[in-house]
Amino acid sequence: MTDDTAIRTDDLEVTYTGNRDVTALDGVSVAFDENKLTAIIGPSGCGKSTLLKSLNRLHEIQPNAEIDGEVYLGDEAIYDTDEPLPEIRRRVGYVPQTPTALPLSIYNNVAYGAKIHGDYSRAELDDLVERYLRKVNLWDEVKDRLEDPGAELSTGQIQRLCLARSLAVEPEVLLCDEVTSALDPISAEQVEETLENLKEEYTIVMVTHSMDQAKRLADDVIFLYLGELVEASDTRSFFENPQHERTREFVKGHTAVDYDDEPSEEAATDEPPVASR
């Protein structure tokens, strides 16, 4: 951990209980730097979404999820705190894969969280709505129809609206769960451009299945395999000079994974690497 760390996990373990318990994360310790975009990549089922959601306790929505270890937001242990859960989730926002507008106007989709969390005048809300719609490059497209239902926008516009809604409550960290995968290529490009701009100002942690997207957007990459952290580094080193055989195989496209596999020796080291150190 350094002074630049915005959020980090410490020996995080998540198990889904059931007929057959699944250890989705197995002792993951990783740090995410401030004002950087970190991509979480790895084969299907390796624990990417579980890691992302554990950063704001969203995985707790699953009743069979058990967690051990800790997540620190700054110095605060988010699993051992008196801070109310809605406040933790305000501080660590989450944008899901499927763009969904609230059944409200475009204006109120953005103002929604601010109205719940703060005491704003109408003029302040007007400013806030414009500021965040501009941040996600949507203002020019919607400024003349702010009272129209958000749901009437295109899917790509709704995804940018979701980003604006998440940002309007001023999170410290933004979690993005495959936010372009449900979009057509042009909309996906617009969302990518938005993320490219936002990462100057925000700490963003993004799950992606696209290696090209990770290469284009991410400052740092972390690679999970069978619930363990295999490699974490800056994006260029990750793709040009991967340190682990498992990473090299994955980067080359060997992505098949089976949970009955034994983790590789590399993946099972006691001290998982920490991003960008």
94 in Cβ contact with 100 (< 8 Å): no
Interaction of residue 246 with ligand ATP, rule CB under 6 A:
no
- For ligand ATP, give the closer residue by CB, 208 or 235: 208
Residue closer to ligand ATP by CB (options 22, 151) is: 22
* 50 is a contact residue toward ligand ATP (CB under 6 A): yes
Contacts of 241 (CB under 8 A, 6+ apart): none
What residues does 33 pair with on adjacent strands? 5
Size of the residue set binding ligand ATP (CB under 6 A) = 15
When binding is defined by CB under 6 A, the residue of 46, 106, 153, 251 that contacts ligand ATP is 46
Residue with tokens 């395999």: 225
> Rule CB under 6 A: is residue 251 a binding residue for ligand ATP?
no
Find the shortest distance in angstroms from Cβ 57 to ligand ATP: 15
Residue 257 Cβ vs ligand ATP, minimum distance, rounded to whole Å: 9
* Contact call for residue 66 and ligand ATP (CB under 6 A): no
259 near ligand ATP, rule: CB under 6 A:
yes
Between 41 and 110, name the residue whose CB sits nearer to ligand ATP: 41
Taking the C-alpha atoms of residue 165 and residue 149, their distance in angstroms, rounded to an integer, is 14
Q: Select from 43-51, 125-133, 157-165, 268-276 the region that touches ligand ATP (CB under 6 A).
A: 43-51
Q: Which amino acid is at 107?
A: Y
HSE of 222, CA atoms in CB hemisphere, 13 A: 32
Q: What Cα–Cα distance (Å) separates residue 118 from each residue in 82, 90, 121, 168?
A: 20, 12, 10, 11
Q: 250: part of which helix (H) or strand (E)?
A: helix 245-252
Per CB under 6 A, the segment of 14-22, 103-111, 133-141, 163-171 that binds ligand ATP is 14-22
Interaction between residue 211 and ligand ATP (CB under 6 A): no
Residue tagged 């110095």 (tokens) = 75
Q: Considering the rule CB under 6 A, would residue 185 count as an interface residue with ligand ATP?
A: no
Residue 29, helix vs strand vs coil: strand
Type of residue at 152: E
Q: Which residues bind ligand ATP (CB under 6 A)?
A: 16, 18, 22, 24, 42, 44-50, 62, 64, 259
